[in-house]
Structure 1
Amino acid sequence: MQNKSVSRIFGLDCVRALAITLVILSHCSFLLFPGETSLFLDSVRLMGAIGVDLFFVLSGYLIGGILLKQLIDKKTSWSFFLNFWKRRWFRTLPNYFLVLILNILLFLIIGHSLPKDIFLYYLFFQNFAWKHPNFFTEAWSLSVEEYAYLLLPIIFYIGMIINKKWKATKFFLWVTISTIVALALIKLEYFFNNEVSSYKDWSTSFRKVVIYRLDSIYYGFLAAYCVKLYPEFISRNKKGFLVFGLCLFAVLHIFIYMFNLLPQNNMFFYTFFYLQLICISLIALFPNFIELKSQTPFKSIVLFVSTRSYAMYLVNYSLILLSLQRVFDLEETSVLSKVGLLFFFLGICIIISNLIYVYFEKPILKYRDTKFPR
C-alpha cells in the first residue's frame, strides 16, 4: 500500500474508516453504559464485531488481489512470494510489536501478572486453536490475518511447483474454495466437541480463534477474483449487490432476534452459517465502495481516519479504554463525567494513533516501499 494519497482508492479508505468507526463506537458504549445491557446496546456492541469482520474481508480483498495478479503475471518463484511476505510483515508487524510492548510495560507498571505464555504473542500463536488470553485482546484478529497471509500463498507456491501450466485464475479460484471447504471441516471438530453457555463464551472459543476464522479472509480473496474477472458485470449490478448485502445483513439479524437464536441453543447455525453470511453481506457492499468518488468535503477526514485506523485499532481498547476503567469507577460516575471521559477517550485515541502513524508507521512503510518494491 502506497502512502501517497494520489495512489489510494478512496472507496477502500471509506471501508477502513467505517470499520474502525464501528469498533470505536462499540467501545464507547462501555464508557457511557458500563455494566448495562439492552437490545440497543447489544446492537451497538455487535457493530464492533462487524467492524472487525469488515477489516477481515477488506484485507482479504486487497491481499487476494495482489496474489492473483502475481499468479497471472507468472511471478511464482520463491523470491516473489518472499517479497510479498516481507511487504506484509513491514505493514503489520512493527505496529503490532510496538503496542504489544506498551501493553507489557503497562501491566508491569500497574503490578498485574502477565500471561505465563506471553512469548506466544510474538509468534501470533496465543489463540491458534484455543481461547485468547485476557491480555492485549485486539491481538486475536492480527493472529488470524498473519496465518491467513501464510497459508494460501504457501499453497499457491507449492501448487505452481507441481504444475506450472495451471491457468492462474482457475488455480486461484479452486485453491481458495478448497481451502474454505477444508476449514469448514475443521469446524466440525468444534461443533461436536464444545458446548457454550453464552454469546461471549462462543466468541472467545470460536469467533476469536485462528483456525476457525481464516476463511473470513479468504472470502475477500473470492471477491478479488470476481472483481478481476467480471468487472463490467459487477459495476453494472452494483446497486443490486448493495440491496442484497443490506437485506442479507438485516434479515439475518431479524431472524436471530425473532427466533432467539443464541450460540448455546443453536450451535450449528453459529458455527457454520452466521459469520460466513456476515462476510458475504459485507462483501456485497464492496462494488459500491470501490466506485466512490473522492470529490467530497469529507475526503480529508476519511483519509485521516483510514491511514490511522490500524494504529487506532491496536491502542483504543487495551491501552486506553481499560486504563480508564481501572482509574475510574464508571458505574458510580455521573453522566456529565462520563461524557467528559468519552471525549477524552476519543481525543487520546486520535492523538496516540496519529503519533504512531506519523513518526513510526509511515517511515517504516516508506522504507519498505524503497527496500521491497511491489
Structure 2
Amino acid sequence: MNDRKQISAKRFFGLDFLRALSISLLLFSHSSWIYNSTSLFGRMQDASGFLGVELFIVLSGFLIGGILYKQFLHENYGIKDAYLFVSRRLMRVLPSYYLVVSILTIVYMIFGFSVSQVWKYLLLIQNFAFPIPAFFPESWSLPVKEMGYILAVFLLVVSVKLFTKTSRKVLFLSVIIGLILLTFGAKTYYNIHSENLDLKQWSFSIRSVVIYRIDSVLIGVLFGYSYHNYKEFIMSKRKLFLAFGIILLALLFLCIAVFKLRLTNASWFWNILCLPLLSLSICMFLPILLNWKTPSERIGNLITFICNISYSVYLLHYSLVLFLLKYFINTSNFSLWQLHIFTILYVSITVVLSYLLYTFFEKPINEYRAKNFKLNDK
C-alpha cells in the first residue's frame, strides 16, 4: 500500500493521510468477518473496504505516473530504462509479497487446503482475466497496479521506437488513453455477453479482474502526467477540483441510492461507468491534499508510521492474521464486548507483525533498491 518514492523528494502530508486512510478502511472492512453484521454498520464496513482499495489504486497510479512520465521524457529512453523501472517496481512489491505467499502456502498445506493455484500468484496473474482463487483473495489489487504499469511501460518502449519523430507528450498520452479505452472495450464486451445480476459476483468478475480494472490505475497515471505538466493551474484551481470531485461522488450516490441503478436494471452503469467515475472523483481530491499541511508533529509522526507499515498490513492482515485467529478462536457465541476485545487483539497483532516485517525485511530491501536501482527521471 505504500509507494515510497513520491512525485518529489518532499513528503506530502495529505497524500500520506490518504494512504493511511486507505489501509485503515481496509482493516475496518475486513473486521466484518468478526461481527458478521447485516445491519447498517455491516454495510458501512463493506463500503469502506471498497473505497479503501480504490483510494490505494488511484493514489499509486498518481505517484508512479509522475515518475514514469519524467523518465519517459529522457532523450535516450529505451529498453534499459523500461527494464530498470519494472525492476524497481517488482523489487518494491515482490520480496514481502513472496514471503507472505510462501507462509500462506505452508499454512494451507498444514490445514489440508488446496495450493494448486499458487503458481499464478508468483507470476501476478491470479486474477488477470478471471476471478481470483480462494487463496489470498485480498491480493487482487496488486496485479491490477503492477500489470497496469508493466503494460504501459512495454507500449511506451514500442511507441518510442516506432514513432521517433512524435512528441513524447503525445506518445505518453496516446499509450495511457489507449489502454484506458481498451479497458472500457473489455468491460463493454463483458456487459454485452454476461448476465451478472449479483453484486458479490460483480465484485469478483469485474471489480477484481485485471483486464477490467487497469483503467483505474491509469486514470491515476494520467492525473500524474497532468500534474507534472500543469502543476500551477491545477494547484491554483484546487478548490474547483475538490468541488468537482464532491459533485461526482454525489452523482454516484444519487445513481445508486436515489435512482436505484442496479445490476438488474442498469448493468452498464456498474460494469462500465461506476468504477472509472469513482477513480476520477478521487483524482479531483488530490490537489487539495497536496496542499494540506501537517497539523502537528505528533499527528504527522502517526500518519508516517501507518504509511510505513501499510504495505505489510495489506499483506498480513486478512488471510494470515485474521484467518488464523478465527480458525483457533470460535467467536460464534461471543458477546458484543468480547467481539470488540477480539477485534483489538486482531488489530494489535496485525500492527506488531507488520512493524516487524517492515523493519527487518521490507525496509532493508527498500534501502538497497533506492541505492542500487536509480531511475533516470530528471
TM-score, with length taken from structure 2: 0.93
Q: How many residue pairs end up in the alignment?
A: 370
Counterpart secondary structure, 1:331: coil
Alpha-carbon distance in structure 2 between the residues aligned to 1:163 and 1:10? 40
Alignment of 1:143-292 (within 5 A): 143-292=143-292
Counterpart secondary structure, 2:342: helix
Aligned counterpart in structure 1 of residue 26 of structure 2, from 18, 23, 26: 23
**8 Å contact from structure 1 (residues 169, 225) kept in 2:** no
Alpha-carbon distance in structure 1 between the residues aligned to 2:275 and 2:9? 34
**8 Å contact from structure 1 (residues 199, 264) kept in 2:** no
Q: Is 1:98 the equivalent of 2:65?
A: no
**Once structures 1 and 2 are overlaid, which stretch shifts more, 74-83 or 155-164?**
74-83
How much does 1:224 deviate? 0.8
What is residue 79 of structure 2 aligned with on the other side?
A: 78
RMSD, aligned CA: 1.8
Counterpart secondary structure, 2:62: helix
**1:182–1:137 distance in 2 versus 1, CA, 3 Å:** same
Unaligned runs of 5+ residues in structure 1 are none
1:261-283 Cα offsets, whole Å, 9 max, x none, are 23344211111111011101111
Alpha-carbon distance in structure 2 between the residues aligned to 1:246 and 1:228? 23
**8 Å contact from structure 2 (residues 180, 218) kept in 1:** yes
1:326-355 Cα offsets, whole Å, 9 max, x none, are 233333211121011111011011101101
What is residue 135 of structure 1 aligned with on the other side?
A: 135
**8 Å contact from structure 1 (residues 196, 263) kept in 2:** yes
Alpha-carbon distance in structure 2 between the residues aligned to 1:370 and 1:208? 34
Counterpart secondary structure, 2:112: coil
Letter of the aligned partner of 1:319 in structure 2?
L
Letter of the aligned partner of 2:170 in structure 1?
K
**Once structures 1 and 2 are overlaid, which stretch shifts more, 163-172 or 216-225?**
163-172
Letter of the aligned partner of 1:45 in structure 2?
D
1:181-240 Cα offsets, whole Å, 9 max, x none, are 111111122112222242111101111111001111100111112111211211111112
Q: Is 1:301 the equivalent of 2:302?
A: yes
What is residue 14 of structure 2 aligned with on the other side?
A: 11
Alpha-carbon distance in structure 2 between the residues aligned to 1:325 and 1:283? 37
1:44-98 Cα offsets, whole Å, 9 max, x none, are 3112111111111111111111111012222412111111111111101111111
Letter of the aligned partner of 1:323 in structure 2?
L
Q: Is 1:88 the equivalent of 2:89?
A: yes
Q: Is 1:47 the equivalent of 2:48?
A: yes
Q: Is 1:113 the equivalent of 2:113?
A: yes
What is residue 314 of structure 1 aligned with on the other side?
A: 315
**8 Å contact from structure 1 (residues 57, 279) kept in 2:** yes
Alpha-carbon distance in structure 1 between the residues aligned to 2:315 and 2:64? 20
What is residue 350 of structure 1 aligned with on the other side?
A: 351
Counterpart secondary structure, 1:113: coil
What is residue 61 of structure 1 aligned with on the other side?
A: 62
How much does 1:175 deviate? 1.8
Letter of the aligned partner of 2:200 in structure 1?
K
Alpha-carbon distance in structure 1 between the residues aligned to 2:32 and 2:209? 25
Unaligned runs of 5+ residues in structure 2 are none
Q: Percent identity?
A: 35
Letter of the aligned partner of 1:281 in structure 2?
S
Counterpart secondary structure, 2:370: helix
**1:271–1:257 distance in 2 versus 1, CA, 3 Å:** same
Alpha-carbon distance in structure 2 between the residues aligned to 1:10 and 1:336? 35
**1:317–1:250 distance in 2 versus 1, CA, 3 Å:** farther
**8 Å contact from structure 1 (residues 191, 267) kept in 2:** yes
